[in-house]
Amino acid sequence: MHVIKQLTEKCQEYDKALYIAFVDYSKAFDSIEHDSLWRTLTQERVPKKYIRIIKNIYANNTPQIKLESTGEDFPIARDVRQGGPLSPKLFSAVLEGIFRDLEWDNFGINFNGRQLSHLDSLMT
């Protein structure tokens, strides 16, 4: 909150507009579509053999629902496995691709000689 207060004060001092968005990432891993993940990994030039390995991990992700009897398997086309060692990196890769596509590099504020456009690392 200290950083937000400083940003607010600096923007007021220099008569600059300040827009802040807080994003709830509580269900974020569930929202990543696998096709977006494969596309992002390809754009990031991840070797195809590693993409194939990750695809195989996710291809075999078929849960069942058990009520009175066990139901049929059904495929999952969206989510990044929570708790998996790769999951944070995969999620971050997709987000970085989104930010790059939005061309947000020129947005942000110069704060003590540093260009800030994402405060997530400062908010922890």
Taking alpha carbons only, the member of 91, 118, 114 closest to residue 104 is 118
pLDDT digits (tens, 9 = 90+) for 49-101: 999 998 888 776 666 666 776 666 656 555 566 667 887 888 888 888 877 77
Letter for the amino acid at 11?
C
Res 2 pLDDT > 90: no
Q: Say what angle helices 48-59 and 34-43 make with each other, to 10 degrees.
A: 170
Q: How far apart are CA 78 and CA 33, in angstroms?
A: 4
Domain ranges of the chain: 2-116
Residue 85 φ/ψ, nearest 5 degrees: -65, -25
Model pTM greater than 0.85? no
